[in-house]
Every structure is written in structure tokens, then in C-alpha cells.
Amino acid sequence: MLVFRVFPASFDADGDTLGTVHDTVVVAPGTTVRWERVGPAFHTVTNGRDSGDLSAASEYNYIFDDTTTVAERVFTTEGEHDFFCYIHEPVMEGTIIVTSATTGVGPPGVLRRVAFTRPPSPNPTRGNVAFAIALPRTQTVSLTVHDVAGRLVSSLQSGVLTAGEHPFQWDGRGPGGRVLESGRYFIRLVAGDVRESRAVSLLR
């Protein structure tokens, strides 16, 4: 189970209790997410993003008042699930990423650093390969592809990405769209002090 504490001005799952933090968490399918109200304020937990409208709650809308202080929901569908308090958005927002690939995620599921959340697939591949990374906050990210000698063959991302999960693809090509030879290549992720690589076998 993953627990969000519902403070007067924030949803907090990582323990920092900062009122302006948009916490992004990564959980496995079937995880129960629990929201617990802290303090006397009136709040809601509603799925959606930046709507400001109660009708946006197409899946769920939990109301916290003097009689209801806890709400739970089981997340089974993989993907990115946003939620907010429709009274206090955009300060009170959060994101739950449901994925069966949780490499780089520390207990109890809070994404504390950039991580690969979906490994390169298909792998081996004859061309296109898809994968995803997730960020706990907005930051600068570099994604490059290198051959076994460490030479750069493709640049997929160089710049700022927002918090949350981001899908990427590599088409198995090098500089100028050149078709690369069969072999082993490495997708390299660099963000802050994070340095990670994932191997891809290319078959021609």
C-alpha cells in the first residue's frame, strides 16, 4: 500500500511535507493507494488534470470532511494517473504511475530520482524500440544511444522535461538517418547525478 498524506496545501507521499510539491509515485499494478487527511481542512481527491471542474471526476471523487478522513483505491491499469483537489488546484496535485517495470524506484514506491519505468521493447529489435523514463520533478535530461565502443550514434533528448512519465522511441538509425549494423547498443540516461544505461540488441 502507498499512502498520501493530505495536508492543508499539499498531497505528500515522500515525507517532505512541502506545500508546493507535485509528488510523482511509481507503483506496480494492483497497488492500493490510500489518502489520509491531516488536519481539519476540507479537501477532495479527484482524477484528472487542471480542470477546476467537479465534473472532471469520471472515475472517482473522494471528499474529506469531519466524518470522512480516509479514502482508498486499487490501481490496476498501467499508465499515468493524475489527481488533484478541485478546491485547491493547482497547488494540490499528484501523479501515480502504474507500471510493472519499477527499476530505480525505492520503497514504498515513491519516485525519488529519474528512472527507466519501461525497458526497451522489443529487444532484440529489427528497428524501432520503445521505452519510457519517469521524473520526480522538472529537470534537465539527456538521452543518447551509443555503440559498444562508446561512440555516440543518436541523441534522443537534450533539455528540460517535466515531472512524470515520458515515452521515447529509437528507430535503430544513426547520424543522418543511417541504418546501423547489427550489434549491441546502449541507451544512456543522464539527469543530475543519475547515470543509467539499458542495452538494446539490433538485428538486421
Residues 121, 88 share a domain:
no
pLDDT bin (cut points 50, 70, 90) of residue 108 is low
Residue 107 inside a domain? The answer is no
Domain with residue 48: its CATH number is 2.60.40.420
Strand partners, 130: 121, 169
**51, 71, 98 — which closes off a domain?**
98
Structural domain containing residue 198: 115-202
Q: Is 143 exposed, middle or buried (0-12, 13-18, 19+ CB in 10 A)?
A: buried
Choose between 147 and 80: higher pLDDT: 147
Set of cell numbers at residue 39: 488536519
Output the pTM of the full model: 0.61
- The reply to whether 74 and 129 lie within a common domain is no
Write the pLDDT tens digit of every residue in 127-137. 899 998 888 77
Shared domain check, 12 and 86: yes
Prior bond of 136 cis (ω within 30°)? no
pLDDT the model gives residue 17: 56
Residue 46 has a pLDDT of: 85
- Residue at 42 is within a domain: yes
